[in-house]
Structure formats: C-alpha cells, structure tokens
Structure 1
Amino acid sequence: MSLLIADDKRVRTLTLDRPDALNAFDEALYDATTEALLDAATDPDVAVVLLTGNGRAFTAGTDLREMHARTTDPDFKPGKHGFRGLLDALVEFPKPLICAVNGMGLGIGATVLGFADLAFMSSDARLKCPFTGLGVAPEAASSYLLPALIGRQNAAWVLMSSEWIDAAQAKEMGLVWRVCEPEDLLPEARRHAEVLAAKPISSLIAVKRTMTAPLRAEIDAARERENECFRELMGGPANLEALAAFAEGRAPDFTALPAGW
C-alpha cells in the first residue's frame, strides 16, 4: 500500500508512502489518495485531514517514468482517478486540509499548497514547480491560486524558473504558514489539526465553503486554460527532450529545439 491512513482525535492523517520513489505519484497513489479524500469528506467522524510524506520527500510529483510511458506506450492504462481526479477531490474537499511538508515537494508537492487551509514546512524541505524544466504548462490551478496566495511576481518566479524554493523563502512569500524544525513538524501540525478538529464539523465546513466559494469559478477556468496548454505542450519537442534527458540521466538542452520552442 502506497498510502498510510491513520485516525486520531477526529484527525485523519494521510501519509504518502513510496519513500524509495520519493513518494512520486504513480497512478495507484493518485487513485489511493483520491479515494482517501473522498472517504474523509463524507466520514462524520473525520473533521480534519493532515497530508504528509514518509521519508525524505513530501512528494516528487508525478512519476516521470509513468509520464514517459503515457506519451510513448500505446498500451498504457491510466488509473481510475489519476491526476485530474485528485484535483477534483482537492477542489471539492469540504473540510480543513493541512499539509505538513516534511521534505522535497516537487510539482503537485508544491501546487497542492494552493488547496491547503494551513501549510507547515520542515526547515530543511524545498519546493519546486518544474513546469518549464519539463517543457509543459502549470497545473492544479496554480496559475490562479499562486498569484492569489503569494503575489504575481513571487508566483511568476516560482512557476517560470523551475528553481528550488527553500523553507525560509516559502514562509516569506506566504506559500506556507509555519516553518518548523524537522522533529517538530508533525507534532506542530497535529497540534493545530487537533485544535480545529475539536470544533463542530458543520461549522468548519461552513467556514471553508464561504471562504472558497468565491474562488471556484476562477479555479475551474484556470484548470481549463492549463489543461489546454498542457495538451498542446505534452509530447512536444521541449517535453520530449526533458523526458529523454531524465531517462538518460542528463540535464535537458532546450537550446537546440525548433524556433518558438
């Protein structure tokens, strides 16, 4: 099982558990996490969900070997929910979602913070949105949520540069709420989760609904724009070069691409 699920004091902790793959999301993990969010949303005994990772990574994002197979293998079989299903579940999730970024957060490991109601980050963790490095477009409504959360210029750098963002930068930008020493991360995140979980679930849901309802149309529109760009770029020269470079263990070289790429 690539996802660990534990309940305590009305807090459901979801721990991404593919440490040998840096908790990268393959189709199975996308499906398991989606199902866990859907179950937590309707479980009357769950007030708060806490999402974290096992090992030295929060998550390395989408498994690039599966991404390569998706573009090159005609027999590739996607999962039941996949990436889009997980996003649907995050958009619809009615209860407080707390992220505890225990290590490297890449791709969805960074953009998921746009859906977090509270985000805690280990002082030695790092975040990266690698979209330009992969020759693709933003994801997870990050083109809307990140400018709203951290400001246009911070979001432009995070989304365009494919550079690592350390915990101090993430805190200064407002991408995370608290930075903790590694050994304090989960206890501190759990302490805050339990404060919320002691409140009426109906009230927590009402607060979140009233906060997020004005954002829904913009999130949906951003996802459509991103998906259109992603479809255009996926499998294009830049993306194929990035995936080939990953498979060959080298840095991509985008300078030799056709004009305009």
Structure 2
Amino acid sequence: MLQVSDERRVRTLTLDRPEALNAFNEALYDALADALLAAAEDPEVAVVLLTGNGRGFSAGTDLLEMHRIATDPTFERGRHGFPGLVDALVDFPKPLVVAVNGVGLGIGATILGFADLAFMSSTARLKCPFTSLGVAPEAASSYLLPRLVGRQDAAWVLLSAEWVSAAEAQAMGLVWRVCEPDDLLPEARRHAEVLAARPVASLVAVKRAMTAPLRAGIDAARERENAAFAELMGGPANLEALNAFAEGREADFTGM
C-alpha cells in the first residue's frame, strides 16, 4: 500500500496500489497521513520525497469506494481519511518533494499545492476532475492553485476537468521541472538530497516563514470547499457520475 525507505536523510514514500493506479482508498489515506506525521517527528528525516509505483502517480480517490461512501451509511471511514491527510500536508514542517511519475487525478494533482518542489515525468498527465464528478474542489486547491499558476490557468484546471500535459503543467508553474521518465526519480532525489544536507532546523524555519502567511487562507478555503462538497456529494450530478463510472459509460449531465 505504501513503501517507505530512507537514504541520506531523505524519506521516500511510494504509493503502492499499482493495480488501481495508486488511487486512494481509506487505508491509503491513513497510511500516507501516518507516514507524514512520523516523518515530521523523526529527527533523522530532513526531506520527504513522494512518488508512485507503476503507471500512475495517483488516480485520486478510489471512485468505487467513494460510491460506497455515498450510498452506504454503514461504511466505516478511516482514522484519518482524506481530511486527515490534508491536515498532515498542511502541517508538514519539512520540505516535501513530489515526483509525478504517471497520471495524477484529484488529490494526485491538488497535492502539488503543498509541494515545495514538484517534478513530473514528460509522459505524465494531471486532471482535477471535480466538475466531471459533480462535486467541488478539495485540499484548498481553490486557494492554492490560483496563487501557484494564476487565476485563469487555475480556473481552466478546476472548471474544465480536462487533462493537463507535463509541458502545460510546467508552463503554468504547477510543476518545477519536467524530466524524461527514467530521469525523474534520480533528478528529484538529487535535489532532495541537496536540501537534506542542510540543517533540519533551518529547513523548518524557512518553510514555516513561507507557509505561515497562507494558513488562514488555506483554512478558509477548506471550510468553503468542504461545505460545497458535502452539499454536492450524493446529489443528482454526483450520483450520475459515480453510477456512470461503475457502469463503464459516460456521465450524462443533461439538465443538471
């Protein structure tokens, strides 16, 4: 589910559900949240490098499980779940380097709002599929993406639910570097190790100084997004999207 390895003060976290393109079910949300919390407290870890195993970085929330959550009131949620993972990302005090090795949807794209350095394979693609699922943005993306890429690029990414290529992601500033697939992890690791050679206390102080002014905006955006998501999830458009996914057909939002 999640591979963890340490080398030269860099902790590499590898999402490991390749059969599901590393889609997040409740168990993976819990595992990654726990891993970030542990890395934050470990004095031997200076930097976290996050990537995925297989063809995908992350296909976002597992839609089959999302369908169960939306339709089964007895479904047992995780200890952290999606909100707890975002809490861990918001609070993570050390540099976070993300290497997008394949497709990134939903949280597989919006997590870049919390990356201190983001690398992307030239063959990878990103998508924020919220409107195609009949729901609202997540993970403070409605606040972080406009700051990261500008209002119009953020509007296109969040409103259209269209794919964004690696070249487009780099041009708009969503990722820092684009690499050939075989070069992605070595290049991301090389930069992570440069950071990891610095004093941890100094890395933490720099990141705190950069992120502290954003905290109020992140908190307010999450509150707005969560309210909108709760209102829309399980509604007609969302159920049509989830049923269409489960049935292997295109969703029909005519009249919605």
Using the size of structure 1 for normalisation, the TM-score is 0.98
- Alignment length, in residue pairs? 256
Q: Which amino acid aligns with 1:235?
A: G
Q: Which amino acid aligns with 1:87?
A: V
Per-residue CA deviations over 1:66-125 (Å, capped at 9, x if unaligned) read 100001112200010000000000000000000000000000000000000000000000
Q: Which amino acid aligns with 2:233?
A: M
Asked if 1:147 is matched to 2:146, the reply is: yes
1:166 matched to which residue of 2?
165
Q: Give runs of aligned pairs for residues 76-225 of structure 1, distance below 5 A.
A: 76-225=75-224
Offset at residue 234 of structure 1 (A): 0.4
Offset at residue 8 of structure 1 (A): 0.2
Q: Which amino acid aligns with 1:59?
A: S
Give the Cα–Cα distance (whole angstroms) in 1 for the partners of residues 236 and 124 of structure 2.
32
1:73 matched to which residue of 2?
72
2:33 matched to which residue of 1?
34
Q: Which amino acid aligns with 1:142?
A: S
Q: Which amino acid aligns with 1:57?
A: G
Give the Cα–Cα distance (whole angstroms) in 1 for the partners of residues 164 and 111 of structure 2.
15
Q: What is the root-mean-square deviation of aligned Cα atoms in Å?
A: 0.4
- Counting aligned pairs with the same residue, the percent is 77
Give the Cα–Cα distance (whole angstroms) in 1 for the partners of residues 194 and 134 of structure 2.
42
**Secondary structure of the structure 1 residue equivalent to 2:57:** strand
**Secondary structure of the structure 1 residue equivalent to 2:98:** strand
Give the Cα–Cα distance (whole angstroms) in 2 for the partners of residues 16 and 171 of structure 1.
23
**Secondary structure of the structure 2 residue equivalent to 1:5:** strand
Give the Cα–Cα distance (whole angstroms) in 2 for the partners of residues 69 and 228 of structure 1.
20
Per-residue CA deviations over 1:194-239 (Å, capped at 9, x if unaligned) read 0000000000000000000000000000000000100110001100
2:53 matched to which residue of 1?
54
Give the Cα–Cα distance (whole angstroms) in 2 for the partners of residues 139 and 21 of structure 1.
21
1:247 matched to which residue of 2?
246
2:9 matched to which residue of 1?
10
Give the Cα–Cα distance (whole angstroms) in 1 for the partners of residues 206 and 249 of structure 2.
48
Q: Which amino acid aligns with 2:144?
A: L
Give the Cα–Cα distance (whole angstroms) in 2 for the partners of residues 245 and 3 of structure 1.
29
Give the Cα–Cα distance (whole angstroms) in 1 for the partners of residues 108 and 101 of structure 2.
11
Give the Cα–Cα distance (whole angstroms) in 1 for the partners of residues 159 and 193 of structure 2.
37
Give the Cα–Cα distance (whole angstroms) in 2 for the partners of residues 11 and 146 of structure 1.
27
Give the Cα–Cα distance (whole angstroms) in 1 for the partners of residues 73 and 101 of structure 2.
36
Structure 1 gaps of 5+ residues are: none
**Secondary structure of the structure 1 residue equivalent to 2:14:** strand
**Secondary structure of the structure 2 residue equivalent to 1:61:** coil
Give the Cα–Cα distance (whole angstroms) in 2 for the partners of residues 21 and 165 of structure 1.
20
Using the size of structure 2 for normalisation, the TM-score is 1.00
1:23 matched to which residue of 2?
22
Give the Cα–Cα distance (whole angstroms) in 2 for the partners of residues 75 and 224 of structure 1.
25
Offset at residue 155 of structure 1 (A): 0.2
Q: Which amino acid aligns with 2:43?
A: P
